[in-house]
Structure 1
Amino acid sequence: MLHLMKLAVGATSLDDIVACQHQQKLSAPTTAEGAIPTPFITTRNFPRRHAELLDGGSLYWVVGGALRGRQGIEDITHYERDDGQKSVRMTLSPEIIPVLPHPIRPFQGWRYLEADHAPSDLQSPTAFHNKGLSTLPDHLITELQLLCLL
Structure 2
Amino acid sequence: MDKTVNLVKLSVGTESVETLAAWQAEYAARWPDGLPRHVTRMWPKRETEILNGGSIFWVIKGQIQCRQRILRMEEVIGEDGVRRCAIVLEPEIHMTQTALKRPFQGWRYLKVEDSPADLSGTRKQEEPLPAELSQALAEIGVI
Instruction: Classify 1:11/1:135 alpha carbon distance in 2 versus 1 (closer, same or farther; 3 Å).
Output: closer
- State how many pairs are aligned: 132
Structure 1 CA distance, aligned partners of 2:125 and 2:43? 39
TM-score norm. by structure 1 comes to 0.79
The structure 1 residue matched to 2:10, chosen from 7, 10, 22, is 7
Structure 1 CA distance, aligned partners of 2:101 and 2:126? 20
CA contact (8 A) 2:28 2:37 kept: no
Structure 1 CA distance, aligned partners of 2:46 and 2:125? 37
Task: Name the aligned partner's letter for residue 89 of structure 2.
Answer: L
Task: Name the aligned partner's letter for residue 87 of structure 1.
Answer: R
Structure 2 CA distance, aligned partners of 1:21 and 1:106? 21
Structure 1 CA distance, aligned partners of 2:37 and 2:43? 14
Alignment of 1:126-145 (within 5 A): 129=123, 137-140=127-130, 143=133
CA contact (8 A) 2:98 2:126 kept: no
RMSD of the TM alignment (CA)?
2.4
Structure 2 CA distance, aligned partners of 1:120 and 1:78? 30
Unpaired stretches in structure 2, ≥5 consecutive residues: 138-143
Q: Deviations over 1:123-147 (max 9, x none)?
A: 279xxx5xxxx6754455xx58x5x
Identity among equivalent pairs (%): 33
The structure 1 residue matched to 2:74, chosen from 65, 72, 77, is 77
Q: Is residue 30 of structure 2 the alignment partner of residue 21 of structure 1? A: no
Structure 1 CA distance, aligned partners of 2:117 and 2:126? 16
Instruction: Classify 1:19/1:116 alpha carbon distance in 2 versus 1 (closer, same or farther; 3 Å).
Output: same
Instruction: Classify 1:7/1:43 alpha carbon distance in 2 versus 1 (closer, same or farther; 3 Å).
Output: same
* Structure 1 segments (4+ residues) deviating >6 Å: none
